[in-house]
Structures are given as structure tokens and as C-alpha cells.
Amino acid sequence: MSRSPSSWLITGVVAMALGLAAGDLARADDSDDNHAHHHAVPTQSAAQRTTAEYTIPDVDLVREDGKVVHARAEFDDGRPVLLGFIFTTCAAICPITSATFRQFQDKLGPNEPVHIASISIDPEQDTPSRLRQYARKFGAGANWQHYTGAVAASVAMQRAFEAYRGDKMDHAAVAFLRAAPGKPWVRIDGFAAADQLIAEYRAITAPSALASR
Amino acid sequence: MRSAALFTALLCAAGSGVGAAAERPAPDGENLYRHGQLPTGALLAGSRDFGANVTGETAACVNCHRRSGLGNVEGNIVIPPIIAKYLYRTRQANVLDLTLPHVPGFTPNGWAYTDETLAQVIRTGVRPNGQPLNALMPRYALDDESMAALIGYLKNLTTEPVPGVTDTTLHFATIVTPDADPVEKKAMLEILQRFFAMQRDVIAAESRPMRASREIMYRVTRRWQLHVWELTGAPETWQRQLEDHLATEPVFAVISGIGRREWSPVHRFCEHNSIPCLLPNVDLPVVADNDFYPVYYSRGVLLEADLIATRLFDSTAVQPRRLVQVYRSNDIGVAAAEALATRAKAANIAVEQRAVPASPESRGASSSGAALKRAIAGVDRNDALVLWLRESDLAALRGDVPTRSVYISGLMGGLESAPLPVRWRAATLMTYPYDLPELRRVRMNFPLGWFKVQAIPVTAERVQTNTYLACVILSETLGHMLDSFVRDFLLERMEMMLSRRLVNGYFPRLGLAPGQRFASKGGYVVRLPATAGDKLLAQGAWSTP
């Protein structure tokens, strides 16, 4: 049921003006929508790979250790990056992303100079201390950081990665990999297996790939 | 005391299903479904082709199919209802069953599960028709005993008749505690009564034909009926009183409500009886991470305590030598002061708690001046002074401000109309857990416009607005439920839709999720303008401590 914020606003406003439930106006499309999505759903792990140029926005994020960091500086420190979006009270989809990130982390080992980043799409709820708890739960090591910040900063990050769907409840599974600053991002939509992420990671960080563009 | 009672309430709630004790689902099945624990005590384990295996809590069915078992739509993934009533008939047959909730995860099809095929799909991830399930759904290699417990649970889940729902009427209650402010109470009740009357008018004006379309089939428009449950006497007796009310007037949910000093008996009643209690006007809610049914706008004064703590202890600026807090011994400032003291101690800052004896019930406040003066005595400019005081006490403050670090609670002190003496105004900081007046002005046109149309005078704007907003949210959530009147599902839908609303009265935004029961998470710290009525002077941005 993805829905642009503006249509929600309009539905809400009209409904409020009429004193009706927004659902009254939105109802007709609900079930048809679902049906369509049902068929669009990828079955067994059909993750889709694309590449894209994304510009990290000029915003500050707050890391789980409470430190305010500039997003660009944080992700352009030279290390390869694996990046994803989560929220700590997300029960269905995010645990998969985080479990996969953990396997990625564990398979590469603690000495691999990689930066794993999980960015909250529910930043007001996800305070640094809640992020620390979440990071512990998923076994995040020294290379894996979680980020929150102002709502606008989180939205800017999601928009920059074309992952903004208007509301946290509409999010979808997607992961991003980049070999180095200036290189394109590999975007993997759907549930990627950790091995798939590792293969992707090896390919883009191979010396030959890094030398070319 | 409170936490012990709460703990008992939690234990009771954990064991109770939706309905009567006799029909209670097997605890084994419930443990598996909700907590990812097998009858043997071992952890439930789920696996997926692409890795991302899960165990225990994370593997529990409740994460995706939800507490009601009615499923969900998350992102672009449909999570179907899995209560037996759905699965054991062709879904085409379900379409014709008007007693069966229509839910977003619904897909019509021509076949039905049996115990064997259901066990098989849970173990293999392949439907009887050969269709593999979406990769999100783990496969569970359950032993026969666990499977039997699980399937038994699914057969009982969300089957009991829902109290407060009849063919023609949806019953709701609102709860008023005896200590509620009389003006605010009257204002709240008026909003509720007018909203309910309007809902009835809308229903009466509608003559919706029963078209043979799936969505419409389920829609039987019911009128809303409000029951006002006014509590009397001591808080220890409230839970009992509420249970008596519930027995004589069964309701589907509790909407809004108003309290002042004590709300925890109401909270316990809601959780214990599995009744959604939605968005009451209370400034000290109960924070209990595992409770499901009570939902609040915010953590109230506890949020204010965190806003103050962040400024006083987390910044790199000079920290106070000592934290002095003043509050009435019978008011909600007690809990707020306790929360802030804990933060201070963690930051190694000395704390002095100065309780002023209970205020006289008459809101006169002539003797307050002297008592407050004593409470503030000895505070100097190296101290931080936090006043958890109501308006009448703030008005009674005398003399000069002893330190530049004085905080008052906006919720207790009257927000922008806090009656601080002139000499205190400029020096005092106030927590303000709402959007700033000038930022919410346009948004406020909706409630204010409605009050005007309804000829309701604005006597307690905050309470009236929050009550109206609660009604609108309820109305929208019910709309999204397509008349699937299941209490757990009401909360699940609210979790899903609330953060999509963009016009929220006093609040910049609201949001819930599984496990989130406080819809607004932040606030401002402001200074009062020199002249009452001028713009508040925000000290920094909205922050979420």
C-alpha cells in the first residue's frame, strides 16, 4: 500500500473536513492494491541488482555512540561501504536485513576494512541508546555502525538512495554497496543472501575493478 | 509499589487471551506464536533459503502475522491472515462470511488447508498448490508436539465474539478520574459527545447500497455509542469500578479519557482486560514496555524530565553542581522528579528532592507562597532548579530567581500561559513537548474550525484538540479496518497508519509500531517572552531525548 504523502494529506484533509474517516475515501483501492502487490512480490530470494550514482546528502547524522557526524565525511572515509535502512521496532523485514548484514560482517571477519551502516528510518523513536541495544542484539562489531538523527536528515538519506517510500511502514528491503568514494553504488532490491553481498563486495573491491571506473 | 503491581498485571496479561478463561488458547501454542518458545523450552528456529535464519523472539509468528493473526501489509509484502477460520476454508468461501474480518492480507482462492497441509506449508514453505511462499516467511522444522500446539493455537486465535460490537452499534467508553480538572473534563466530554453525535448523523444520512463488491459486502455501518465511566473514591478502587462498568456496559475500546494525578489503575485495567485504551488526556502515563493495549500521545512529564536531562547533563557545557527539584508530594511531579534524579545520579550530580506537602484541594494558593519560598531557600547560582509545579504554585513564586538554570514543566505549568511572576519569566526555561504555536497554527485550523462549526467554545484548547484528534484517529483506524472489529487488530492498524497522518493538532507528527505506545517522542525547551502572548523563544530545535 505505498501511497504518496500528498495523497494521504489530501485524503486526511478532505476526510477531516467532512468529518469522515480517511479510510472511507481510501477504501476502494485498498484491496485491489494488495492483490496487485501480491503478484509483484519476488518469491524465493529474487534480489535485483542495479548500479546507480547517489550523492550522499549534506546532513548530520547521530551515531549510536551519540556522536554527531557529517554523513558525507562518515561514508567517504575511503573504506568500502555496505549501507541499509532499518528501524528498531520493525518486526518483519528489518530483522532479515540486519541478520544478513551480520553474516556479511562475520564472513568478512573483523580485520576487513569495510564500513557497514544501518540508518534508522524512525529516527525519533530510535535514540542512540535504542540503536546500541539493537546493534548488540544483531551482533554488530567495530565495523558496523547504526545512525539516527533529525527526521529531515533521515528522509534526506532515504531520498538520496531512492529508498524513501513516505512512511516507515511502507519500507522495502534494499541494500547498497560501494567500493570507494566516487565509485558507483550497487543497489540490491529484495532479500539478498549474505553470500550474494560478499560476492558483490569482492567483485567491486577487486584491484582491477577499483582501477577502472 | 507501583512496579510490583504492574508486574503482576503483566503476568496476568501474558497469560490471558482475548476471551474468557475457559476458551483460553493453549499456553504452549501462545508461547510459540508470540515468544518463539517451543513446548520443550527450546527456542523456535526458522530458516530461509538465502540464509537470514532466525531463532527465538525474532522467529516468532507474531512479528509478521501479528497478535491477532490477521496479518499485515509491510512495504510491498503481503502477510496473510493465518487464523484457522481463514485457512481451513476456501478463501472464496470466506468472502461470503460476513462475520469474518476482511483484512489487507486477504487473497481469495479456491482451496482450503487441512491440519496436514498446514503443517506442511509451515515446514516446507510450499503451499499445497505447489506455490512457494514469499522468501520473508521462514520455514520451521517443528516436531509434532510443537506443531500440534501451534495449530491448536491458530484454531482458537481471534475466534471469540468481540464485546461492545452489535449488528447496529459500536460501543466505546471514556474514563474520567475523580481528580480530573472540572473545566477540562467538561470540555473533553463535550468534544466526545459532539463527535459521536456527528458520526451518528453521517450514518443516518448515508444510504449506501449493499453492492456485491468484496469491500462493500463487509461494510455494515454501525453507529457509535459513548459510555462515560466516571470513577469515584480512592485509586485503589478504580480498577474494580472499571471492571464493574465493563461487565454492565461491554465496550469495544476506550477512547480518550481524562485524569490528573493518577492513571495507573486505568492502565492496568486496560491491559488486564485486553481493551484498547486510546490516547487519554494524561500527563503521567504508565511506561511498561511489554504492555499492548494502552496507547498514549506521549510520555508526558517523563518526556519533559528527559528533555531537561539532555540539556543539563548531556551537553558539554558547564554542568550544575547540584540538582534541586521542587514538587508537590501528591502530584505527578513526584514521578518526573524521580526520573530526572536518576539521570542526574548517572551523571554524578548531587540531587536534592524537596517535596512540598500536598496542595489544598481548593486552587486558592495563599499559603503556597511561604511553603515554596522555604523549598527554594538555599539554592544558588551553581545549582539547577527544576520546578514540577502547577499554575497556582508558579503564580505564588516570590522574590528573585536564585539561578540562571531554572526549569519548569510546560505540561504542569500551563504551557505558553504559565503564570510566572515577571521577575521569573526571563530567567526560566520551560519544557514544551508540542509543536510551537506558530508552527502548528495552520494545522490547528482543522480542530478549531470544527469547534466553530459545532459551536463549541474553546475553554481548554489542548484537551479539546487532543480529544478531537483521538476521535479522528479512531474513526480513520476503524475505516482502515474495513469493519473488522477485533481489538488487537484495531491497535495493529493504528500502528500501521498513524505515522502516515500529516495533520496532528498540537503534534508535529505521530507514530507507533509494534512495541511503541507513545505516539509523539520529542519536544522543545523554550523561554517565555517578556510580554505574555508574544512568541515563545525556542532554545534549539525539536529534540527527541
pLDDT of residue B101: 66
Q: Among B152-166, B197-211, B521-535, name the one with the lowest average pLDDT.
A: B197-211
Q: Percentage of residues in chain B with pLDDT exceeding 90?
A: 73
The closest of B530, B292, B336 to B433, measured between CA atoms, is B336
Pick from A20, A96, A169: which is nearest to B202 by CB? A20
CATH number at residue A73: 3.40.30.10
Q: What is the interface size between A and B, counted as CB pairs within 8 Å?
A: 192
Three-class SS state of B271: helix
d(CA B121, CA B118): 5
* Higher per-residue pLDDT: B78 or B413: B413
pLDDT of residue A47: 86
- Identify whether A152 is part of a domain: yes
The C-alpha cell 526458522 sits at: B46
- Tens of pLDDT, residues B109-161: 778 999 999 999 999 999 999 999 998 999 999 999 999 999 999 999 988 88
Can you name the residues that pair with B518 across neighbouring β-strands? B296
pLDDT of residue A144: 98
Q: Enumerate domains of chain B plus CATH numbers.
A: 2-156 (no CATH), 169-296+440-498 (3.40.50.2300), 301-432+524-538 (3.40.50.2300)
Tell me: pLDDT of A6 over 80.
no
Can you name the residues that pair with B114 across neighbouring β-strands? none
Cα–Cα distances (Å) from B333 to A181, B283, B348, B401, in that order, read 52, 10, 22, 20
* Higher per-residue pLDDT: B120 or B399: B120
Tell me: pLDDT of A42 over 60.
no
List the 8-67 stretch of B: residues with Cβ below 8 A of A.
Answer: 48-54, 58, 62-64
- Tens of pLDDT, residues A165-180: 888 888 889 999 999 9
d(CA B76, CA A52): 22
R_g over Cα of chain B: 26
pLDDT of residue B467: 98
Residues of B with Cβ-Cβ distance to A16 under 8 angstroms: 446, 450, 472, 503
Tell me: pLDDT of B329 over 90.
yes
d(CA B301, CA B339): 9
d(CA B442, CA B504): 11
A72 — pLDDT class (breaks 50, 70, 90): very high
Pick from A8, A40, A87: which is nearest to B500 by CB? A8
- Tens of pLDDT, residues B51-65: 888 899 999 999 999
| Helix, strand, coil percentages for chain B (3-state, nearest 5) | 40, 15, 45
| Contacts (Cβ under 8 Å, ≥6 apart) of B238 | B177, B231, B265, B266, B269
List the 445-464 stretch of B: residues with Cβ below 8 A of A.
Answer: 446, 450
R_g over Cα of chain A: 19
Pick from B64, B76, B476: which is nearest to A37 by CB? B76
Nearest 5°: the CA angle A201, A203, A208 is 130
Query: What is this structure's pTM?
Result: 0.88
End-to-end CA distance of chain B: 27
With CB atoms and an 8 Å threshold, state whether A43 touches B134: yes
Pick from B199, B500, B521: which is nearest to A167 by CB? B500
B18 — pLDDT class (breaks 50, 70, 90): very low
Position B457, amino acid: P
pLDDT of residue B159: 86
pLDDT of residue A19: 35
Q: B522 to chain A: nearest residue by CA?
A: A124
Q: Among A97-106, B313-322, B491-500, name the one with the lowest average pLDDT.
A: B313-322
Mean of pLDDT values over B448-454? 97
- Identify whether A102 is part of a domain: yes
The closest of B313, B309, B419, B318 to B363, measured between CA atoms, is B419
Are B151 and B118 within 8 A, CB to CB? yes
Query: How many domains is chain A built from?
Result: 1
pLDDT of residue B479: 82
pLDDT of residue B482: 67
Mean of pLDDT values over A61-66? 96
With CB atoms and an 8 Å threshold, state whether B544 touches A172: no
B509 — pLDDT class (breaks 50, 70, 90): very high
Q: Which three cell numbers stand for residue A13?
A: 484533509
- Identify whether A19 is part of a domain: no
- Tens of pLDDT, residues B465-506: 999 999 999 999 988 776 678 999 999 999 999 999 989 999
Tell me: pLDDT of B541 over 70.
yes
Pick from A3, A96, A193: which is nearest to B136 by CB? A96
d(CA B83, CA B152): 10
- Tens of pLDDT, residues B83-114: 998 899 887 777 666 666 667 667 777 789 99
The shortest C-alpha distance from B203 to chain A (Å) reads 10
Nearest 5°: the CA angle B483, B465, B429 is 135
Helix axis angle for B238-248 and B264-272, nearest 10°, is 40
Are B135 and B49 within 8 A, CB to CB? yes
- Identify whether A18 is part of a domain: no
pLDDT of residue B96: 67
Residue range of the domain that includes A165:
57-211
Mean of pLDDT values over B214-228? 71
The C-alpha cell 486465535 sits at: B157
- Identify whether A111 is part of a domain: yes
End-to-end CA distance of chain A: 38
Q: Is B477 on the interface with A (CB under 8 A)?
A: yes
Residue-wise over B520-543: b if at least 16 C-beta within 10 A, else e?
Answer: bbbbbbbebeeeeeeebbeeeebb
With CB atoms and an 8 Å threshold, state whether B502 touches A5: yes
Can you name the residues that pair with A174 across neighbouring β-strands? A189
Helix axis angle for B301-309 and B333-346, nearest 10°, is 30
Residues of A with Cβ-Cβ distance to B137 under 8 angstroms: none
* Higher per-residue pLDDT: B286 or B211: B286
Q: Is B140 on the interface with A (CB under 8 A)?
A: no
Mutation for A interface: B33, B220, B445, B500, most A CBs within 10 A: B500
d(CA B38, CA B124): 18
Three-class SS state of B526: strand
pLDDT of residue A20: 34
CB atoms within 10 A of CB A27: 16
- Identify whether A50 is part of a domain: no
Mutation for B interface: A18, A33, A38, most B CBs within 10 A: A38
Three-class SS state of B117: helix
Mean of pLDDT values over B347-367? 78
Pick from A1, A16, A90: which is nearest to B503 by CB? A16
Task: Give backbone dihedrals phi and psi of B171, rounded to 5 degrees, phi first.
Answer: -95, 130
Q: Which three cell numbers stand for residue A209?
A: 575493478
pLDDT of residue B11: 34
B360 — pLDDT class (breaks 50, 70, 90): low
Tell me: pLDDT of A130 over 80.
yes
B22 — pLDDT class (breaks 50, 70, 90): very low
Can you name the residues that pair with A84 across neighbouring β-strands? A118, A175
List the 200-239 stretch of B: residues with Cβ below 8 A of A.
Answer: 202, 214-215, 219
- Identify whether A31 is part of a domain: no
List the 479-508 stretch of B: residues with Cβ below 8 A of A.
Answer: 479-482, 495-497, 499-503
pLDDT of residue A12: 35
- Identify whether A138 is part of a domain: yes
Mean pLDDT score of chain B: 89
| ipTM at complex level | 0.87
